[in-house]
Structure 1
């Protein structure tokens, strides 16, 4: 992939872009295998499936753009070392629908005279523009503002933006008042009647709300979910516990086939989205073939109350045929959850990670789990990032 921003020295985000893509992919596989093998000797014999890749350009479903420049000429992109805006609206990582929408959004900001936030001076209003595109090319747009001062003007003129972007479905304003490197704040104000963006993956309707997490590469995410479903079919569990379930990507792909699926996620917004998807799929909340979701900290989640009024740990409940799926953030599972999984009654484990270093650390804490198969999925071409999925079974 060629990128004129990189060639001109304006953007250095794609650190591997000068390497042929096949070389990038081989280097990631070798690096991840080495990191994991160093953590445990039994990982030297781990069976690695062929890596998964996708398009080299136009694959990102989400643009996170810093707004800078002036009222008359706003930039949407990144900041240079001294805090000036570098416009990246034509970044080749984005599909055409995102590129076209960013042009409209920049024009909208200019026409409304939304003052870009000046990081060095700590003043201004419009901090970020966050834009997500679905497989149907429908859009969700979030304005990140310093305050609510421009909220009414954005709401008043929103029909103009919607006329220019007929595929725009969800628009919100996020308020981030603090002067620090934080992408978004705690307050989200929805400006449209529709509150979620439909991200259909492998025929599964996933509903993405403004503050929910979703993999940035829809094509590779679909392959990741298919891999997990294939592994689940191999081990044929009767129960599935999905920790860090998000909007239900793994859980809903593993539902059915008589399995009782439970998903846990700290975000109540994501849980509500997963529950909606389960209803649309006709999945009951209890019994064989069911799927239910609850809000809670996956690291310390205790499960439903037992008959004595206490709190039971679902990882310690008896029963063969229990599969646990974990997809933690970059920090990994941590000592507490790794210990609970090590001492659990689960028979099978699928671990999906975006950070092989923390994955290796977690695996070292779980010696009773035998790695069986693994696969690298290149969610982030031209960078050193990736997703790695692994199936483990109880020794």
Structure 2
């Protein structure tokens, strides 16, 4: 490992600052464009990895981090970009998307528009590592960005909404009744203004009843015991309220994106739409309500069951929800006027793009949470043009960006 002075030129898709030194590309976390820094650099294959030692000259977009956990000693890994001005964050995300299309998709696209909301207190979900001290006392926190085994006790998270943190405080006040294990993992999500809790880990929960008595405001509690499937162990919700798995992390921006998806689908005056990776059926239900036949495909059985209840009044026109992997059943449900793709970070299976090439719709509306896999999947669709593309900043202070991409067949 060598102590090296670096001039940071840009930000990578993973959030690290990028510099060039002696013909080597060096990625250094917690640096910003314009910074001159001293870093310990190690070579890993064809790239360098830097560990920031000090900033010698701050770039124009570097700002002080607002959260006390972001800097040493905690070095929180929940955010990557609190040290970067919010406008520069969003410009970087737009550039990342265009760069991914150039490098991976081999396509030129204009610098996309960015839609953004509040940069703080937007999260309606927070997952924490839970640890038991030698004294038997529990604490919960996030991991250091440079050491996943280093879990610090969380006092506050400035990107998380206060009701979520209040739910966590209630859980931790009742932690004496948790399973007797050294490590657990939990998630608090706020749905319809009520906190829900998911616990992962442990083999036995002998004091479950005492825990439930001590957390009266939790709307529902799920437990995924070690080696077992998740199960609902307490349910205080009204009928037909979705489970914790279906909560939007940033509901305000997610709703804005959802509205545009529905608008762009309906612009094609479709009679039949396939909503692939449909989740709890928000988009499928909105489109079906306008008289369109919708087939919603989702591998998660619980999400599919909930989506089915939302499509129940549209069964007469053939709308339905199917619990299956998209790549396994999509060919059987084509053709369609419009196909919506909203896959996880890994993107779609090559079988999906092959099926779309064989039986092409009028348009594909692709919602992506990873520019690299979006660009890869678009590259698998020769003869399709990027008709429209735009970004949504659902996760400010992080390197993540959501993209809406509309594809149409190229004119003959």
- Paired with 1:25 and 1:42, the residues of 2 have a C-alpha distance of 21
Taking a change above 3 Å as real, the CA distance of residues 116 and 107 of structure 1, as seen in their structure-2 partners, is farther
State the SS of the aligned residue for 1:235.
Answer: coil
Q: CA deviation at 1:43?
A: 3.7
- Paired with 2:343 and 2:406, the residues of 1 have a C-alpha distance of 15
Deviations 1:152-209 (A, max 9, x none): 41124412211xx2xx2111211124xxxxxxx52424222548884xxxxxxxx2x2
Answer yes or no: is 1:138 the counterpart of 2:202.
Answer: no
Answer yes or no: is 1:258 the counterpart of 2:291.
Answer: yes
- Paired with 1:113 and 1:215, the residues of 2 have a C-alpha distance of 27
Q: CA deviation at 1:213?
A: 4.4
Q: CA deviation at 1:334?
A: 2.4
Taking a change above 3 Å as real, the CA distance of residues 157 and 35 of structure 1, as seen in their structure-2 partners, is closer
Answer yes or no: is 1:74 the counterpart of 2:130.
Answer: no
2:67 is matched with 3
Taking a change above 3 Å as real, the CA distance of residues 77 and 95 of structure 1, as seen in their structure-2 partners, is same
Taking a change above 3 Å as real, the CA distance of residues 171 and 68 of structure 1, as seen in their structure-2 partners, is same
Q: CA deviation at 1:116?
A: 4.7
1:284 is matched with 314
State the SS of the aligned residue for 1:262.
Answer: strand
- Paired with 1:245 and 1:113, the residues of 2 have a C-alpha distance of 34
TM-score (norm 1): 0.80
Deviations 1:117-176 (A, max 9, x none): 24xxxxxxxx11111002x321111122321x22x41124412211xx2xx211121112
- Paired with 2:365 and 2:115, the residues of 1 have a C-alpha distance of 17
Tell me if structure 1 keeps the 8 A contact 2:189–2:247: no
- Out of 81-90 and 93-102, give the one that drifted further: 81-90
Bigger share in strand: 2
Tell me if structure 2 keeps the 8 A contact 1:77–1:87: yes
Deviations 1:8-51 (A, max 9, x none): 4411331111011011001100111121133456543x583x31
Answer yes or no: is 1:64 the counterpart of 2:127.
Answer: yes
Taking a change above 3 Å as real, the CA distance of residues 271 and 29 of structure 1, as seen in their structure-2 partners, is same
1:28 is matched with 93
1:306 is matched with none
Q: 2:164 aligns with which of 98, 118, 127?
A: 98
- Paired with 2:293 and 2:201, the residues of 1 have a C-alpha distance of 42
Taking a change above 3 Å as real, the CA distance of residues 219 and 370 of structure 1, as seen in their structure-2 partners, is same
Tell me if structure 1 keeps the 8 A contact 2:298–2:304: yes
Q: CA deviation at 1:218?
A: 1.0
1:372 is matched with 387
- Out of 6-15 and 367-376, give the one that drifted further: 6-15
Tell me if structure 1 keeps the 8 A contact 2:187–2:198: yes
**Runs of at least 5 residues in structure 1 that lack an aligned partner in the other structure:** 119-126, 178-184, 199-206, 304-312
- Out of 35-44 and 58-67, give the one that drifted further: 35-44
- Paired with 2:262 and 2:138, the residues of 1 have a C-alpha distance of 45
Tell me if structure 2 keeps the 8 A contact 1:43–1:371: no
- Paired with 1:332 and 1:269, the residues of 2 have a C-alpha distance of 21
Answer yes or no: is 1:357 the counterpart of 2:372.
Answer: yes
Answer yes or no: is 1:384 the counterpart of 2:405.
Answer: no
Deviations 1:229-265 (A, max 9, x none): 1112322211110111111122123223321111001
How many residue pairs are counted as aligned between the two chains?
Answer: 342
Q: 2:207 aligns with which of 142, 153, 157?
A: 153
- Paired with 2:274 and 2:139, the residues of 1 have a C-alpha distance of 44
Q: CA deviation at 1:330?
A: 1.2
State the SS of the aligned residue for 1:351.
Answer: strand
Deviations 1:332-358 (A, max 9, x none): 112211111122231111001111111
Q: Higher relative contact order by CA 8 Å / sep ≥ 6: 1 or 2?
A: 1
State the SS of the aligned residue for 2:207.
Answer: helix
State the SS of the aligned residue for 1:301.
Answer: helix
Tell me if structure 1 keeps the 8 A contact 2:347–2:374: yes
Answer yes or no: is 1:190 the counterpart of 2:233.
Answer: yes
